[in-house]
Chain A
Amino acid sequence: MRKLPHASLASLLIAAALLGQGQAKSWKEIQYPQLPTFTIPKPEVYTLKNGMRVFLMEDHELPLIQVSSRIRTGSWYEPADKVGLASIMGAVQRSGGTTTMPADRMDEVLALRAASVETGVGDDSGFASMNCLKGDFDEVFAIFADILRNPAFPEDRIQVEKGQVTTGIARRNDDPGSIAGREFTALMYGKDSPLAREPEYATVAAITRQDLVDFHARFYHPNNISLGVVGDFASADMKKKIETVFGGWARGPEAKPLVPSFREPKPGLYLVEKDDVNQSNIRMGYQGMKISDPDYFAAQVMNEVLGGGFASRLFSNVRSKKGLAYGVFGGVGAGFEVPGVFQVGMGTKSETTVAGIAALREEVEGLQKNPPTEAEIKRAKDGILNSFVFNYDSRDKILSQQMLYAYHGLPANFLETYRANVEKVGPADVQRVIGRFIHPERMTVFVVGKPADFDKPLTSLGTVTPVDITIPPPPDTAPKVARTAGSAAAGKQVLDRLVRTVGGSDPQSVRALRSVQSIALTAGGMAISLKQTEVKAFPDRMRQTTQTPMGEQTVVLAGDAGVALTPAGPQPLPAEKVAEAKKEAFHDLSFLARVAGDVEAVAAGSDTVEGSGCDLISVTWQGSESRLCVAQDGRALKQSYAGENPMTGTPGRLEVTYGDWRDVGGRQLPFKQTITIDGQPLATVTVETIEVNPTLDPALFEVPKS
Chain B
Amino acid sequence: MQRSRSRVPAALAALALAVVLSPARAQDLASFEKHLSQRTLDNGLTLLVYERPEAPVVSFFTYVDAGSAQEVPGITGLAHMFEHMAFKGTTRIGTTDWSAEKEALAGVDRAYHAYDRERRKPGGADPAKLAELERTFKDAQEAAGAFVVKNEFGEIIDREGGTGLNANTASDATLYYYSLPANKVELWAYLESERFLDPVLREFYKERDVVMEERRLRVDSNPIGGLIEEFLAAAFRAHPYGQAGIGWVSDLTSFSREDAEAFFKTWYVPNNMTIAVVGDVKAAQVMPILEKYFGRLPRGPEPAPLRTVEPQQKGEVVVTVPNPAQPIYVEGYHRPAAGTPDDAAYDALADVLSTDRTSRLYRSLVRDKKIAAASGAFNGFPGSKYPNLMIFYAVPTPGHTNEEVQGAIRDEIERVKKDPVTDDELRMVKTRAKANLIRGLDSNEGLAGQLATYQALYGDWRELFRSVDKIDKVSKEDIQRVARATLVPTNRTVGMIVNQAGQ
Which residues of A are interface residues toward B (Cβ below 8 A)?
2-5, 19, 22-27, 30-40, 60-64, 95, 103, 107-108, 111-116, 131, 133, 156-157, 159-160, 163-164, 166-171, 174-177, 232, 276-279, 308-311, 315-316, 319-327, 347-349, 379, 381-383, 385-390, 392-395, 423, 523-526, 550, 555, 562, 564, 566, 571, 573-574, 577, 645-652, 677-678, 680
Contacts and interface: CB of A to CB of B under 8 A. Distances in A.
B1 A61 contact: no
B501 interface: yes
A524 B424 contact: no
B448 interface: no
Contact of B11 (A385, A571, A651): A385
Nearest to A566: B503
B407 A649 contact: no
B106 interface: no
B57 A393 contact: yes
Nearest to B181: A389
A347 B217 contact: yes
A112 B160 contact: no
A615 to B, nearest CB: 31
A625 B327 CA distance: 28
Contact of A112 (B163, B292, B427): B427
| Band of interface residues on B | 35 or more
Given A23-B296, A389-B161, A393-B54, A36 B221 contact: no
A30 B187 contact: yes
Nearest to A389: B181
A62 B27 contact: yes
Interface in B173-187: 179, 181-184, 186-187
Contact of B93 (A23, A27, A347, A389): A27
B151 A311 contact: yes
A103 B435 CA distance: 22
Contacts of B179: 390
A77 B220 CA distance: 39
Interface string B384-424: 00000000000111111111100100000000000000001
Contacts of B356: 107, 111, 116
B39 interface: no
B213 A38 contact: no
A400 B202 CA distance: 43
Given A379-B159, A387-B163, A564-B503, A525 B216 contact: no
B150 A279 contact: no
Contact of A349 (B92, B155, B160, B213): B213
B404 A555 contact: no
Residue among B4, B6, B54, B427 with the highest chain A CB neighbour number at 10 A: B54
A377 to B, nearest CB: 12
A394 B443 CA distance: 8
Given A35-B181, A390-B57, A113 B431 contact: yes
A35 B395 contact: no
A461 B441 CA distance: 54
Given A31-B4, A112-B431, A311-B155, A2 B399 contact: no
A388 B11 CA distance: 10
A133 B438 CA distance: 9
A628 to B, nearest CB: 24
Nearest to A113: B431
A574 B155 contact: no
Contacts of B184: 32
B3 A562 contact: no
Contact of A62 (B8, B203, B209, B438): B438
Contacts of B407: 525
A573 B190 contact: no
16 contacts: A33-B183, A60-B24, A112-B428, A167-B396, A232-B24, A278-B221, A311-B158, A311-B159, A319-B210, A347-B216, A383-B161, A386-B10, A389-B55, A390-B161, A393-B57, A574-B502
Interface of B: 1-8, 10-11, 13, 15-22, 24-25, 27, 42, 53-57, 87, 92-93, 145, 150-151, 153-163, 165, 179, 181-184, 186-187, 190-191, 203, 206-214, 216-217, 220-223, 280, 292-293, 296, 298-299, 320, 322-327, 356-358, 366-367, 370, 373, 395-404, 407, 424, 427-428, 431-432, 434-436, 438-439, 441-444, 498-499, 501-503
B182 A36 contact: yes
A344 B216 CA distance: 20
B270 to A, nearest CB: 13
Contacts of A525: 403-404, 407
Contacts of B293: 23
Contact of B220 (A157, A278, A387): A278
B277 to A, nearest CB: 15
Given A388-B161, A647-B499, A64 B203 contact: no
Contacts of B21: 60
Contacts of B57: 389-390, 393
Contacts of A160: 366-367, 370
A326 B16 contact: no
Contacts of A677: 399
Contact of A321 (B206, B296, B498): B206
Given A321-B206, A525-B407, A278 B216 contact: yes
Contacts of B366: 160, 163
B189 to A, nearest CB: 9
Contacts of A31: 3-7, 186
Contacts of A171: 325-326, 395
Contacts of B325: 171, 174-175
Given A61-B442, A323-B209, A524 B404 contact: yes
A111 B163 CA distance: 34
Contacts of A167: 326, 373, 395-398
B3 A33 contact: yes
B55 A555 contact: no
The 10 closest A-B CB pairs, nearest first, are: A386-B161, A310-B154, A323-B209, A114-B435, A311-B155, A277-B221, A167-B373, A279-B216, A174-B325, A524-B401
Contacts of B438: 62-64, 133
A320 B220 contact: no
Contacts of A387: 161-163, 181
A175 B296 CA distance: 47
Given A3-B298, A30-B190, A309-B155, A114 B431 contact: yes
Contacts of A310: 87, 151, 153-155, 157-158, 165
Nearest to B43: A5
Given A34-B8, A677-B399, A27 B191 contact: yes
B168 to A, nearest CB: 14
B25 A61 contact: yes
Contact of A27 (B15, B53, B187, B207): B187
A331 to B, nearest CB: 15
A524 B403 contact: yes
Given A112-B424, A423-B11, A323 B210 contact: yes
B442 A32 contact: no
Contact of B213 (A166, A279, A316): A279
Contacts of B298: 2-4
A511 to B, nearest CB: 26
A566 B395 CA distance: 26
A163 B186 CA distance: 53
B24 A35 contact: no
A571 B220 contact: no
B16 to A, nearest CB: 4
A456 B60 CA distance: 46
B370 A170 contact: no
A562 B503 CA distance: 11
Given A32-B7, A38-B16, 9 more contacts: A26-B92, A36-B56, A111-B428, A309-B155, A325-B213, A326-B211, A379-B155, A386-B160, A651-B398
B498 to A, nearest CB: 7
A32 B221 contact: no
Contacts of A309: 154-155, 158, 165
